[in-house]
Amino acid sequence: MAGVAGGNDFQWCFSQVKGAIDEDVAEADIISTVEFNHSGELLATGDKGGRVVIFQHEQECKNRPHLRGEYNVYSTFQSHEPEFDYLKSLEIEEKINKIRWLPQQNSAHFLLSTNDKTIKLWKIGERDKRAEGYNLKDEDGRLRDPFRITSLRVPVLMPMDLMVEASPRRVFANAHTYHINSISVNSDHQTYLSADDLRINLWHLEITDRSFNIVDIKPANMEELTEVITAAECHPNQCNVFVYSSSKGTIRLCDMRTAALCDRHTKFFEEPEDPSSRSFFSEIISSISDVKFSHSGRYMMTRDYLSVKVWDLNMENRPVETYQVHEYLRSKLCSLYENDCIFDKFECCWNGSDSAIMTGSYNNFFRMFDRNTRKDITLEASRESSKPRATLKPRKVSTGGKRKKDEISVDSLDFNKKILHTAWHPKENVIAVAATNNLYIFQDKIN
């Protein structure tokens, strides 16, 4: 996957867009998470209304091999519903914070979805056969009069139209006092972790009435609270290792073999700050909104408000690579604080070969960085560039006084159009970008 960002031969083009076009966006339709499964065949989205929609990659047409298959709706269900905790006087949103797929072990697909308080394991299974010729009931289900039955027959399995059913298999509830921000499936395929602002719990996928608390940073006196947990992830192949990031811009790597309670980290990653450049905003913009291990497990990537950093797990004192996402916002921090945009939590993702990374920005822009060529590109998810297989034109924000043609000035950016959630297919150059209530799918140009 060479040169995915602005390389000579590489170009991204529009594939599909899902969702309504209306200007008036209902709060419930705002997409809150996007995730490909491990093969890339399925793409799941969660929204603020607690609903999950799963798309499936259709097989390519034999007649038109130059077209990659499309993603079409496979299943949709209501995962979480709004609740009110009367005891604590707390409103619990149904918004899906994260979806994580389990590796596939049989014909069914399993995923974990979570809101602020409860994690659920969903099974998505296919049914394409049904039994016909029952003795005790009619084809429409009504019970037959037993006195009318004069002969016995064996029911036969007959093919039927494919039906995809989603059913909740486990509900992992009541383990988090604070708001869950992350879930991560362990490489042992038996356990997973869930993290809230102050604690991280380890669960077994089969056991719902118990979980182990492995990190607790709640101070004895809440007045002394200085930082919260912002994200957590299990290592992709070392089942004893996980990391968690904080609102102070630090990452702690923990080894579950050292102790039952991993309050003492094994490694502590922090980039030293220049004390003379410290301002009121420093801590806020250093807060890490997402942490992701590379597929290889050698590196991890963190996203803070203005940049993306790649860390080598063997080097704790500084990142090995830093990419500026939208440095031009540094001189707008005052207004971004006033309109709360400075607290937006952007996610980031790796491509399948770890050679490129992607993250979102404002004005429906998203950015891609090629780690090998050091080139970067800014693209836009918009209806205007949504013609089938239309090549996406690189976008540029003008920072200086002179604005070139086709450039957009910082003051014209729409800060309500934020791309917080993006996902990259694990094997191919296909990306999913969530722009508020629309899901865009882009792919590379095949010639």
Partner 1 sequence: MTLTLHHNMTCHPISMRVFFFYTVYCVFFCQHKEIDDNVISPEKAEEVKLKARYPHLGAKPGGSDLLRKRLQKGQKFFDSGDYNMAKAKVKNKQQLPAVTPAEKAEITGDHIPTPQDIPQRKPSIVASKLAG
Q: Which parts of this chain interact with partner 1 (CB under 8 A)?
A: 18-20, 28-29, 31, 45, 47, 49, 51, 53, 73, 76-78, 81-82, 84, 88-94, 116, 178-179, 197-198, 222-223, 225-228, 247, 277, 279-284, 330-334, 337-338, 437, 439
| Residue 21 beta carbon to partner 1: minimum distance, rounded to whole angstroms | 10
The residue (of 270 and 312) whose beta carbon lies closer to partner 1 is 270
As a residue count, the chain comes to: 447
| Residue 222 beta carbon to partner 1: minimum distance, rounded to whole angstroms | 7
The residue (of 331 and 409) whose beta carbon lies closer to partner 1 is 331
Q: Which tokens sit at 91?
A: 């409103």
Return the bridge partners of 245, or none.
231, 251
Amino acid symbol at 194: S
The residue (of 377 and 439) whose beta carbon lies closer to partner 1 is 439
The residue (of 342 and 377) whose beta carbon lies closer to partner 1 is 342
Q: Which residue in 386, 390, 384, 366 sits closest to 376, CA to CA?
A: 366
- Residue 413 vs residues 319, 332, 364: alpha-carbon distances, Å: 30, 12, 9
| Residue 280 beta carbon to partner 1: minimum distance, rounded to whole angstroms | 5
The residue (of 195 and 357) whose beta carbon lies closer to partner 1 is 195
85-122 per-residue burial string, b: 16 or more CB within 10 A, e: under 16: eeeeeeebbbbbbbbbbbeeeeeebbbbbbbbbbbbbb
Residue 300 burial class via C-beta count within 10 angstroms: exposed 0-12, middle 13-18, buried 19 and up: buried
| Residue 440 beta carbon to partner 1: minimum distance, rounded to whole angstroms | 11
The residue (of 147 and 280) whose beta carbon lies closer to partner 1 is 280
- Helix/strand/coil for 360: strand
The residue (of 53 and 357) whose beta carbon lies closer to partner 1 is 53
Amino acid symbol at 392: L
Query: What residues contact residue 178 under an 8 Å CB cut-off, 6+ apart?
Result: 196, 197, 198, 199
The residue (of 116 and 290) whose beta carbon lies closer to partner 1 is 116
The residue (of 53 and 379) whose beta carbon lies closer to partner 1 is 53
Count the helix, strand and coil residues of the chain and give each as a percent rounded to the nearest 5. 10, 45, 50
Q: Which tokens sit at 222?
A: 């809440």
* Integer Cα distance of 305 and 323 in angstroms: 12
- Residue 437 vs residues 16, 20, 46, 153, 193: alpha-carbon distances, Å: 14, 7, 11, 53, 29
Return the bridge partners of 194, or none.
183, 201
The residue (of 4 and 54) whose beta carbon lies closer to partner 1 is 54
| Residue 81 beta carbon to partner 1: minimum distance, rounded to whole angstroms | 5
Amino acid symbol at 279: S
The residue (of 5 and 435) whose beta carbon lies closer to partner 1 is 435
Q: Which residue in 119, 122, 121 sits closest to 97, CA to CA?
A: 119
| Residue 294 beta carbon to partner 1: minimum distance, rounded to whole angstroms | 29
Q: Which tokens sit at 427?
A: 């094997």
| Residue 165 beta carbon to partner 1: minimum distance, rounded to whole angstroms | 13
| Residue 283 beta carbon to partner 1: minimum distance, rounded to whole angstroms | 5
Task: Give the distance, in angstroms, between the CA of residue 321 and the centroid of all CA atoms in the same chain.
Answer: 22
Contact between 397 and 410 (Cβ < 8 Å): yes
- Half-sphere exposure for 247 (CA within 13 Å, toward CB): 15
The residue (of 244 and 350) whose beta carbon lies closer to partner 1 is 244
Query: What residues contact residue 437 under an 8 Å CB cut-off, 6+ apart?
Result: 19, 20, 25, 26, 29, 30, 31, 47
| Residue 31 beta carbon to partner 1: minimum distance, rounded to whole angstroms | 8
| Residue 153 beta carbon to partner 1: minimum distance, rounded to whole angstroms | 37
Element (H, E) at 338: helix 333-338
| Residue 191 beta carbon to partner 1: minimum distance, rounded to whole angstroms | 27
| Residue 28 beta carbon to partner 1: minimum distance, rounded to whole angstroms | 8
